[in-house]
Amino acid sequence: MDISFFKNAIQSHGFSLLRKNSVLGVDIGSASVKIVQLRLENEKAILETYGELATGPYTGGKVGQAAKLNDKKASEIIADVVRETGAQAKHAAIGIPLRNSFVTMVEMPPLSDEELKEAMQYEARRYIPIPVSEVVIDWWRMPEEKQPRADGQVFSKNVTAKLLLVAVPKDVVEKYKRIVTDAGLEPTAFEIETFSMIRSIISREHSGVVVVDFGAVTTKMTILDKGIIRASHSFDKGFQDMTIALSQSLGVDFERAETIKREVGLSSKPEHQGILKVITPLVDYILIEVERFAMGYSRKYGVPIAKIYIAGGGASLNGFVDYMVKKFGIEILVANPFSKVEYPAFFQPVLREIGPSFAVAVGLALRGLK
């Protein structure tokens, strides 16, 4: 492993020593592993340390390059980022990729929680393409929609109960458990990455909201209505594709292409037209998928989308917010997950900058505090 890459890849600062009730959020992304350590004090989440380590160099690739890590390498990188950040918490909440999970909306007769528990075991079979005995399932009730009648009485619109059904294969959970345990941590919670992200970036939202995670390899989208998750979807197109395309078309290596992508982005300056021509179609491809997902849901359920929150490393693409505003004509907000935690004021600029890519890790650590 090239040590200089290793050093460049780490962004961390430990500003506190071990506390008994500290927890870690661990986000094992395809281009980098991110961790965040929080402590609960007087009902407030205090940021203790955070850090990110690129995965590429662990498989002979470059910083920013997505890597398929085997379990051993994954444990190694987690242990390394823990050591480099000075994180001392042992308890950790771990993110599970959305692509390894099933998230779907299910309609059931209005049953009690007890009845539902039993019924869902059977019902889940209809929705999940692998045997129910091989998955961990969970669900949440959607709030009932109440509608006023002509005589002013309020009645429940639903004769059925809407539920959000979530399933993760047991072997996926077991695999993550092994990786994290071998890294010297004690996993206390597993959570689908998009749910963690929502915890760290959404506050009170009453209208239809879409949250998009622009990762290196996958793009993940979630729709919320009245603050409740309604649907999630991921597809295998990400921001690494732009670096690869730039590297090919400009004849430069991956690292140079990555730097160009980050520095130039969607700049419309005349001298950047060549770069824009390469990046724009790939950005558009991803945004068309986002639009299809958002509009499809919006039409089906009559929920207008008021704003889109963007997160993941790709959310920092230069000029992206303006570009999306023009495309969607609604408010586009860059995630600021560290706004949910306390930290020394002088960290604000850097935390604001790296916030989008730490949204999952912050959300996981917040989950771990509960």
Q: 196 is written with which tokens?
A: 């963690």
The answer to whether 262 contacts ligand ATP (rule: CB under 6 A) is: yes
Q: 99 is written with which tokens?
A: 């692509």
Q: Minimum distance from CB of 327 to ligand ATP (Å)? A: 17
Q: 68 is written with which tokens?
A: 């398929």
DSSP 332-347: EEE--GGGGSB--GGG
Query: Looking at 101, 222, 316, 336, which residue binds ligand ATP (CB under 6 A)?
Result: 316
Footprint of ligand ATP on residues 26-45 (CB under 6 A)?
29-32
Binding site partner of 58, from ligand ATP, Mg ion, none, Cβ cut-off 5-8 A by kind: none
Count residues near ligand ATP (CB under 6 A). 23
The answer to whether 215 contacts Mg ion (rule: CB under 5 A) is: yes
The answer to whether 247 contacts ligand ATP (rule: CB under 6 A) is: no
CB nearer to ligand ATP: give 37 or 357: 357
Q: Minimum distance from CB of 95 to Mg ion (Å)? A: 8
Q: Minimum distance from CB of 47 to ligand ATP (Å)? A: 18
What's the distance, CA 136 to chain centroid? Answer: 20
The answer to whether 25 contacts ligand ATP (rule: CB under 6 A) is: no
- Residues with Cβ within 8 Å of 236's Cβ and at least 6 positions away in sequence, in order, are 99, 217, 218
Q: 212 is written with which tokens?
A: 């998009």
CB nearer to ligand ATP: give 116 or 179: 179
Residues 313 and 294: their CA atoms lie apart, in Å, by: 21
Q: Minimum distance from CB of 22 to ligand ATP (Å)? A: 23
CB nearer to ligand ATP: give 30 or 247: 30
Beta strands in the chain (DSSP E): 22-28, 32-41, 44-54, 91-96, 102-108, 135-141, 146-148, 154-156, 161-169, 186-192, 208-214, 219-225, 228-235, 305-311, 331-334
Q: Which residues make up the interface to ligand ATP (CB under 6 A)? A: 29-32, 64, 215-218, 238-240, 243, 258, 261-262, 265, 312-314, 316-317, 357
